[in-house]
Amino acid sequence: MNIKRFCSALRISFFFILFFFISLIFLGSNKALATSGCCSWHQGVSYCDTSVGRYVCGDGSYSPSCGCAYYPPVPAFPSEMTIGANNSFLPTSNGTYDIEFTFNNPNNRSVSISMNTAQWADPGPLADTMGATWTFKDVQPNTTQYVNMKATVNGVWSQIESWTIQVPAWVAPTPVPTDTPIAIDTSVDNKPFMFGFFDWLFGLFKSKNTTVPDQATETSPYTCDCSKTCTQITTCAEAYYQLNTCGCSVRDGDRDGIPCENLCQ
């Protein structure tokens, strides 16, 4: 009898241990069983509603006692920021375009923006600007690009908004016009003011003691009048008077000391 009792107790212990290990394996592989107590009277756990952080039971109700992971819903992209969005192409000297993209940002939201060949691509976790314009550098011509943007709404990144940009063939930048050089009349009787000033200054240093045939003396009957041209001067003596005494250097256009060469040979 003792042997039978011992064998019976051994069999019971074996089955208990086997049942314990099977239960551990089954519970570890079935998440629903791990949370079965959360919806015990509501047809068990169905799924986790991450928008509110609660388990949903099989009958559609929320678990009265169990919570789960919470992920705040992604807000929609602010509709006002799409108003008036536009772009302009600025050709560069290396055969590419700088593309200036402008958009509406009345609330100065933080914006993450990128240009990609893939639409709806995430522009990244960092804010690029709080303004309303962004310039993309060295964009290849004859390509289809996408401006992908997201903005902060109550401190949370919004959904991504995307614009299609058809980049045209490259056109060389328009040359910047330069000022046309001003032609200067260098004729003797039409010299600019500065030329006349230096001619006058040069005449002050010219010697007044040069012996010239028929040159007028201090008692000369001539009067100084630098406006008189060589055609209005009648004698060589008057021409020398206007040049040396009056300092009218315009009467000596080639500066050889001889005025009005049509009179003074």
Q: pTM to 2 decimals?
A: 0.47
Residue 157 forms beta bridges with which residues?
A: 152
- Among 99, 134, 167, residue at a domain's last position: 167
- Please indicate, yes or no, if residue 5 is contained in any of the structural domains: no
Q: Which helix (H) or strand (E) holds 161?
A: strand 161-167
Phi-psi region at 132: left, alpha or beta (left = phi > 0; alpha = psi -120 to 50): alpha
Residue 32 confidence (pLDDT): 46
- Please indicate, yes or no, if residue 9 is contained in any of the structural domains: no
Domain limits at 215? 188-251
Residue 28 confidence (pLDDT): 43
21-56 pLDDT per residue, tens: 565 554 444 444 445 578 888 888 999 998 888 999
Q: Please indicate, yes or no, whether residues 147 and 220 belong to a single structural domain of this protein.
A: no
Q: Please indicate, yes or no, whether residues 160 and 84 belong to a single structural domain of this protein.
A: yes
Report the alpha-carbon distance of residue 119 to residue 80 in Å, rounded. 21
- Please indicate, yes or no, if residue 18 is contained in any of the structural domains: no
Q: Please indicate, yes or no, whether residues 151 and 208 belong to a single structural domain of this protein.
A: no
Residue 213 confidence (pLDDT): 45
Q: Please indicate, yes or no, whether residues 89 and 159 belong to a single structural domain of this protein.
A: yes
- Please indicate, yes or no, if residue 99 is contained in any of the structural domains: yes
**Lowest-pLDDT choice from 4-18, 123-137, 164-178:** 4-18
Q: Please indicate, yes or no, whether residues 88 and 139 belong to a single structural domain of this protein.
A: yes
Q: Please indicate, yes or no, whether residues 151 and 114 belong to a single structural domain of this protein.
A: yes
60-97 pLDDT per residue, tens: 999 888 989 888 889 999 999 999 999 999 999 999 99
Q: Domain count of the chain?
A: 3
